[in-house]
Structure 1
């Protein structure tokens, strides 16, 4: 007796789950944007695809990170504006304020180390094939520049992954 092939997911449940979890990121950013700011020791490491549609920021900054970039929202961030489909924030890079706008669909990781909370997302649509090719050929993570006092830090989350 032959088994029937697995049914095709015409509902796209995985995509719906990813969108729902991105809602957690949006809700966390809305709390951080409130007048009282981040509560307690909470802070966020947000990694996003810099080439994803809708990502905007200074070309000199985004060109340094042609694939992914991680930003930290902790003590020194300004004008955090979480919208329905994207968020914007001003951070200091090299002592200069720079504004970034990131669609939630471009976010690949959201981490709050104060409570060890991590969400990982699939690459944005259209980049999944490119990411699969990159995964086949492992490369060392890019070195993050060290940031001085009061500057945004760009870090690799590899140190926080369970191996």
Structure 2
């Protein structure tokens, strides 16, 4: 038995449980209202599964936007799977919760950041103040979304958006 309670890891599990619960609801019912998510994850995590060409383009971290078009959102105990459209190419991703660095829902000014230390021990998770993340600049950096002409009975599909949050991190 340890001499101390590991609050940091307990907080990580609780916050990742919150993310799992939210994604499960979205997988079952879709995104309500104006909700959308920026999810930044560590592509070096051994349990991340993604196309080689995406890994080549994002060898350290990647930010996905879950908003207009996504498919196959399935949440498991250790992570989630989702298919996003990258330039008219649907690509499946498998992202373990342990790989998530930030989870932000700018529509309600909610965000979580999971800090890690150089020795790979996780630091304390923090609830991010949206003001810290200058969302106007972030959204301005998101590439223009191209929509495909669709049949009248289908909603327009938009490309997945990949953005870098590095410039918004605390030093």
Measured against the shorter chain, the TM-score band is 0.7 to 0.9
Q: Normalising by the residue count of structure 2, what TM-score does the alignment of the two structures yield?
A: 0.73
Out of 16, 20, 34, the residue aligned to residue 14 of structure 2 is 20
Displacement of 1:160 in angstroms is 6.1
The residue aligned with 1:100 is 93
Q: Say which SS state the counterpart of residue 57 (structure 1) adopts.
A: coil
Out of 152, 161, 166, the residue aligned to residue 153 of structure 1 is 161
Displacement of 1:64 in angstroms is 0.5
Structure with greater Cα Rg: 1
Distance in structure 2 (CA, Å) of the matches to 1:116 and 1:12: 29
Q: Say which SS state the counterpart of residue 82 (structure 2) adopts.
A: strand
For residues 31-61 of structure 1, the C-alpha deviation after alignment (integer angstroms, 9 at most, x for no partner) is 1101x30111111110000011200010111
Displacement of 1:10 in angstroms is 3.1
In the comparison of the two structures, how many residue pairs are matched? 142
| 2:50 is the alignment partner of 1:42 | no
The residue aligned with 1:132 is none
For residues 110-142 of structure 1, the C-alpha deviation after alignment (integer angstroms, 9 at most, x for no partner) is 00010010000123996469xxxxxxxxxxxxx
Alignment of 1:77-156 (within 5 A): 77-123=70-116, 127=120, 147-149=145-147, 150-156=158-164
Q: Normalising by the residue count of structure 1, what TM-score does the alignment of the two structures yield?
A: 0.77
Displacement of 1:81 in angstroms is 0.4
The residue aligned with 1:4 is none
Unaligned regions of 5+ residues in structure 1, if any?
1-7, 130-142
Distance in structure 1 (CA, Å) of the matches to 2:117 and 2:143: 26
Distance in structure 2 (CA, Å) of the matches to 1:67 and 1:106: 11
Superposition CA RMSD, Å = 2.8
Distance in structure 1 (CA, Å) of the matches to 2:55 and 2:143: 14
